[in-house]
Amino acid sequence: MTIWICGDSTAATYALERAPIEGWGQLLGELVPGVSVENRAVGGRSTKSFLSEGRLQEIEGRMQPGDLLLIQFTHNDTSDLVWRHTDTYTSFMANLSIFVDTARLLGATPVLLTPIPRRYWRGGELLETHDEYPDAIRLLAMQKNVPLIDVYAMGTAHLRALGEAESAKLYMHVEKGVFQDYPDGQTDDTHTRHPGALAYARMIADGLAKQNLIQGA
């Protein structure tokens, strides 16, 4: 069995020289022994641009019966750029349905994932992010009877449990002069470094195991 990952920069695999940024997709293979993981997530992609660039077609040519197709978008579907923006309950859900239907047509199992949360704290409170897109994913999962891993809900609860200061360690808060790719440092509450990528990868591996889609992780 192969696990195929379709998604954006939060799931993508990064070269070592890009350290310390890591996406959860590059760590999932470490948590699902005996299963091959093909991470096809690419930074900056929405459901619309991923499809328009033929990236699902590339996977379609190699996907086999019994494989899993993990589908996680939202961050770029909310963009104002016309070439990647989708509307929550219309084009976004329609595009996700293409991923779902393609997997099923090939005998694979689609799995819908809500996005990882952005770490936006204001006045000591963690803000909700992504508007209604997570709800649209949940609705589609129910309508089409697709396995769902609610990463957004689990991740939001995890960040709140950690608190504002501790949760910063999961994301790309980089000190000046420590990493060659970030000489001036960086504060990024969307992308993860190793602790965050690992936390989200574990949520996903556990979710797959609990739904009997893989052997216990």
pTM: 0.96
Q: How confident is the model at residue 216 (pLDDT cuts 50, 70, 90)?
A: low
pLDDT in tens, 22-40: 999 999 999 998 999 999 9
pLDDT tens-digit map of 108-125: 999 999 999 999 999 999
User: CA 162, CA 121: separation in Å to the nearest integer?
Assistant: 12
Answer whether 65's CB lies under 8 Å from 103's CB. Answer: no
Tell me: the pLDDT tens digits for 176-210? 888 877 888 889 999 999 999 999 999 999 999 99
Burial 17-55 (b: 16+ CB within 10 A, else e): eebbbbbbbbbbbebbeebebebbbbbebbbbbbbeeeb
Domain segments of the chain: what residues?
2-210
Q: How confident is the model at residue 153 (pLDDT cuts 50, 70, 90)?
A: very high
CATH 3.40.50.300 assigned to domain 2-210? The reply is no
What does pLDDT average to over the chain? 96
For residue 83, name the pLDDT band (cuts at 50, 70, 90): very high
Among candidate residues 68, 65, 57, 63, the one with its CA nearest the CA of residue 25: 68
Question: What integer is the mean pLDDT of 67-94?
Answer: 97
State the average pLDDT over residues 46-67: 97
Check whether 217 has a pLDDT greater than 60: no
CA geometry: angle 137, 70, 83, nearest 5 deg:
65
